[in-house]
Amino acid sequence: MALQALQSSGVAFRRILSHFPEDLSLAFAYGSGVYRQAGPSSNQKNVMLDFVFTVDDPVAWHSKNLKKNQSHYSFLKVLGPKVITTIQNNYGAGVYYNPLLMCDGRLIKYGVISTSILIEDLLNWNNLYIAGRLQKPVKIIAMNENVLLRSALDKNLKSAVTAAFLMLPESFSEEDLFIEIAGLSYSDKSPEGQFTQLMTLPKTLQQQINRIMDPPGRNRDVEETFLQLAHDPDCGDVVRLGLSAIVRPSSLRQSIKGIFTAGMKKSLIYSSRKLHKMWKGWLRKTS
């Protein structure tokens, strides 16, 4: 039964994908519409499906999508595919979202991101928006033979394991590791080992950690800062602060951008749905 359900969902996702222009370097689905969440069972068909489409040429892709699915866009559609791509690439976290749409009988939301911007985020964690999503369970629907993208996807997962390990205590369970980020079991927490791991973290996270550890005026190099941090018992907390410094601003910018890309009405509806979901989750925890 589980295999049949998985196959059925795969067919449904590909059917939805057929409503959009091709030329996708990567397409994946995520969230509660794909993976059933813990708690009382509900009708999965009433849950919104979330997608991300990665495209090599956003201008060309949006041009085709405007012809096929013009109603998906907010008032920004009148500005054309070049302006839409500029907004996508230069504001928020590099993603253009069209939410609250009916497609093939399902409520969906989809984001579009440039392949080059995604690769940069996967390698360097510039904002950890889509790279962070790809560290969690996702359903890959389509993927081309882009070697750079495949390599960056692997590097993102390896970086996630390294960062998770740095934030875990000396002893931890398998579940603890999966809670931080799913990855390989790794057990040497010596200062030398932590220094090596800090030096392999993505560039943007290294920069944020260096800002936290290096007060204005000292101007130490990264190696000196990380050598001190590797001997600090609060190393994991500093890594966590560095991650927060990346994620919080990019999420805020992306949310503000969503008001324009989705339109005010859809933004209000989407926000109310998110708040309702959070409220239900809080009630389950307190009951």
Which CATH number characterizes residue 126's domain?
Answer: 3.30.460
Structural domain including 130 reads: 2-152
Could you tell me if residue 285 is inside a domain?
no
Rounded Cα distance between 48 and 187, Å, is 40
Could you tell me if residue 225 is inside a domain?
no
127 in Cβ contact with 15 (< 8 Å): no
Q: What is the pLDDT at residue 64?
A: 97
Our CA dihedral for 84, 258, 37, 13, rounded to 10 degrees, sits at -20
Could you tell me if residue 160 is inside a domain?
no
Could you tell me if residue 220 is inside a domain?
no
Find the farthest-apart pair of alpha carbons in the chain and give their distance in angstroms, rounded.
Answer: 63
Structure tokens at 220: 């130490």
Q: What is the pLDDT at residue 173?
A: 81
209 in Cβ contact with 238 (< 8 Å): yes
| Residue 178 burial (CB count, 10 A) | 11
| Residue 199 burial (CB count, 10 A) | 14
Rounded Cα distance between 122 and 202, Å, is 9
Q: What is the pLDDT at residue 122?
A: 96
Could you tell me if residue 184 is inside a domain?
no
Could you tell me if residue 139 is inside a domain?
yes
Q: What is the pLDDT at residue 6?
A: 47
Rounded Cα distance between 78 and 75, Å, is 6
Number of domains in the chain: 1
Q: How far is CA 76 from CA 56, 62, 178, 193, 213, in A?
A: 21, 12, 41, 50, 42
Could you tell me if residue 119 is inside a domain?
yes
28 in Cβ contact with 140 (< 8 Å): yes
Q: What is the pLDDT at residue 41?
A: 47
Helix (H) or strand (E) holding 193: helix 191-199
Radius of gyration of the chain (CA): 21
Of 221, 214, 170, 219, residue with least CA distance to 194: 170
pLDDT tens-place values along the chain, 287 residues long: 444 444 556 788 999 999 999 999 999 998 878 876 555 445 556 677 989 999 999 999 999 999 999 999 988 899 999 999 998 998 878 999 888 889 988 988 899 999 999 999 999 998 888 998 898 889 999 999 999 999 999 999 999 888 888 888 878 786 777 677 643 223 375 566 677 778 778 888 888 888 888 766 566 777 778 878 877 777 888 888 888 888 766 655 665 566 566 665 565 555 565 555 655 555 555 55
Rounded Cα distance between 206 and 260, Å, is 32
Could you tell me if residue 195 is inside a domain?
no
